[in-house]
Structure 1
Amino acid sequence: MASVSPSSSQALKRDPKIQRDLSLGLGALGSVLLIGTLWYHWVERWPWVEAIYMTVITLTTVGFMEVEPLGNRGRLFTVALILMGVLSIGFMVNRFTETLIQGHFQEEIRRRKWRKQMEALSNHFLIGGFGRIGRQVAQEFQAEGIPFLVIDQSVDAIHAARELGYVALQGDITLDATLIEARVQQAEGLIAALPSDAENLYVVLSARTLNPRIRTIARANTEEALQKLQRAGVAHAISPYITGGKRMAAAALRPRAVDFVDGILSGRDRTFYLEEYELAAQECPYVGQTLQKADLRSRSGALIVAIRRADGQLIGGPSGDTLLQPGDLLLCMGTSEQLRQLGQLLYPLH
């Protein structure tokens, strides 16, 4: 006996029109069965059992002989009964088959699309946990055009992520098998946004074991967790409570400065952006030159706000005499076009 696929069952449950049509078909078939039975019992004066039997074999068109001889009136009614039965059954079969086919093909299309999206992932970010923090991270990545994959154990969370158009994988991100399926070896970074500090720490350690080059950012609920995550090699351990408190204080004391920083760090409708560029001796032609000689500002229009040396030294507002060294991280501000031109100047071979 044919079975109904889960996708088709879900389609039946979700689509009220399909439910209504199938209910209408069942009601029509039941009405035809009742009409035929009553006719043969009351008009033809047959016993109830024979009336029901005649109605069933007529509607199923099995080709059995008449239970008792029928006159012209009875035969005309039987013809009408067959037509009504065929229409009712045909309508039900058509709607049910359409539901099965649509459910099967839609699910297959979704699976193929998901597989292609997974296979195309490279230099992407993994977002572990699709709670309030994970959703906000995904929203910012989407606005920036950054490839990412959402991972969560909850079916509802994964469904919500896919409804928003995100590539999502249902699974336990603390397991190596899930990380491997998420192509952690090809990933650029990991956002551990699970509610548990222990789980975030475990995810970071697992990911760094599978991909030592991966950049990790983790949520921490306490200062102790911050320290443990930093000792585990997390590039950035962030506490929503501590960071939120600092931002609220800054908004109270320096509201315009906070608005400006927010405007260049996040959002879709930004005019200016902040970007960072790391200088490599083999790739950047300006390594060993001063900022004045490189003349990056007039060539691109972008402003170099700060430089972080390879040894950790931070130079804010660098002057024209500042020398560009290998491993320097330039923090730059400008429009998207200005930053694009600056990137081409710094990495002409890319």
Structure 2
Amino acid sequence: MVGVIALGGVFLIGTLWYRIIEGWSWEDAAYMTVITLATVGYGETHPLGSRGRLFTIALILLGVVNIGYIVNRLTEAIVQGYFQQGIRLQQQRRLMESLSEHYIICGFSRTGRQIAKEFQAEGVPFVVIDSELESVQRAQSEGYTVYQGDATLDDTLLKVGIERAICLVAALPSDAENLYTVLSAKTLNPEIRAIARASTEEALQKLQRGGADEVISPYITGGKRMAAAALRPQVLDFVDGILTGADRQLYMEEFLLDPAFCPFVGQTLQKARLRSQTGALVLAIRRLDGTLIGGPTGDTVLMPGDRLIGMGTAEQLRNLNKILGPINYKQLRRPKST
């Protein structure tokens, strides 16, 4: 911008000189100034004296300096922009390749933003996918790892490491997009846990048939929570306090009992002494066949493939994880210390 203004000033000075000092017409003055600044090598429009030639030399030098400055800045902007874009793409590619055992959030609307906040509070690795530039910029401003692309496409999911991810959350605005995303994710990584958002009961059923492990309807869930808030407000506050938020003191986690590593498979809870060793409370046990045992007693036997639902502080749950054996990270996300 500065170079263009300076060049315009030189053109104006040259034109005024040839018009006023040399007495040429405006057309001849402007033409002489242009060919002088452009250094095209044409002859003088009208004969010049010594004073006029000295001024023309100065005008040529000023023109060369200004045009060189403009060309230099333009080239620098183009080259820097090209290389910076290349560097950014290379850094993004490296970052995506380094992701492992991470979560993928598809869609950064109001639902996606809330999910990202909870994931960040839990300290879990995750990446956001959104096709809208505004949403991508917002995610970047909040410090999230983000990729701009269409989450329904296999190529996009592959670029964010779908084959290495442990969970995908489809929170796109359209039920059809969420269905396509779940189908693509399950095709590329059959082991991934897929959670999808549904707007209608029909979409909920289709997403379940499409392979989603969990389907959440904001309207159904919101209605249930509002009813619970009206009927059992203290219970709801307690459950919310251990499920979400960065400042909570109690956590709930699930633990998979792998018979290859867990030394307590086949023993009763009383004999395993999980509570006395760790301080964590076993609230429920989900059997491999889907049977849920709420409030298990000391006589409850721990079976292969059981999922223990435990509650306690971050330290207590970490201790429980340690004594249960090297549990697969894909089945357990360790809570963050308070």
Tell me what 2:4 maps to.
Answer: 26
CA RMSD after TM alignment? 2.7
Residue aligning to 1:112: 90
SS at match of 1:320: coil
Any idea what SS the aligned residue of 2:229 has? helix
Larger displacement relative to structure 2 (182-191 or 162-171): 162-171
The alpha-carbon distance between structure 1 residues 109 and 337, as it changes in their structure 2 partners (threshold 3 A), is farther
1:241 corresponds to: 219
Say whether 1:128 aligns with 2:106: yes
Unaligned runs of 5+ in 1: 1-21
The normalised TM-score by structure 2 is 0.84
Q: CA deviation at 1:35?
A: 1.0
Mapped partners of 2:260, 2:171: distance in 1? 36
Match of 1:275 among 253, 258, 262: 253
Show the counterpart of 1:174.
152
**Please, which of 42, 49, 52 is the counterpart of residue 70 of structure 1?**
49
> Which residue of 1 is the match for residue 335 of structure 2?
none
| Whole-angstrom distance in 2 between the partners of 1:66 and 1:303 | 98
Post-superposition offset of 1:215: 1.2
CA 1:55–1:202 in structure 2 vs 1: closer, same or farther (change >3 Å)?
closer
Mean Cα deviation higher: 160-169 or 299-308: 160-169
Count of residue correspondences: 327
| Other-structure match for 1:330 | 308
- Identity level (%): 62
Structure 1 Cα separation of the partners of residues 73 and 227 of structure 2: 61
Partner SS for 2:266: coil
Q: Find the partner of 2:120 among 142, 151, 154.
A: 142
Q: Could you report, residue by residue, the CA deviation over 1:269-299 in whole angstroms, capped at 9, with x for unpaired residues? A: 2222211111010011121222232222233
Higher mean Cα deviation, 44-53 or 186-195?
Answer: 44-53
| Deviating 4+ runs (over 6 angstroms) | none
| Partner in structure 2 of residue 258 of structure 1 | 236
Change in CA separation of 1:69 and 1:194 when aligned onto 2, cut-off 3 Å? closer
Q: Distance in 2 between matches of 1:152 and 1:349?
A: 33
For residue 51 of structure 1, what is the aligned residue in structure 2? 29
Alignment-mate amino acid for residue 129 of structure 2: I
Q: 1:303 aligns to what?
A: 281
Aligned counterpart for 1:284 among listed residues 259, 262, 275: 262
Alpha-carbon deviation of 1:63? 6.5
Gaps of 5+ in 2: 329-338
SS of equivalent residue, structure 1 residue 282:
coil
Distance 1:111 1:223 in 2: 41
Give the conservation status (yes or no) of the 8 Å contact 2:179–2:207.
yes
Distance 1:91 1:38 in 2: 23
TM-score computed with the length of structure 1 as normaliser? 0.82
Structure-2 residue corresponding to 1:11: none
SS in 2 for 1:330: strand
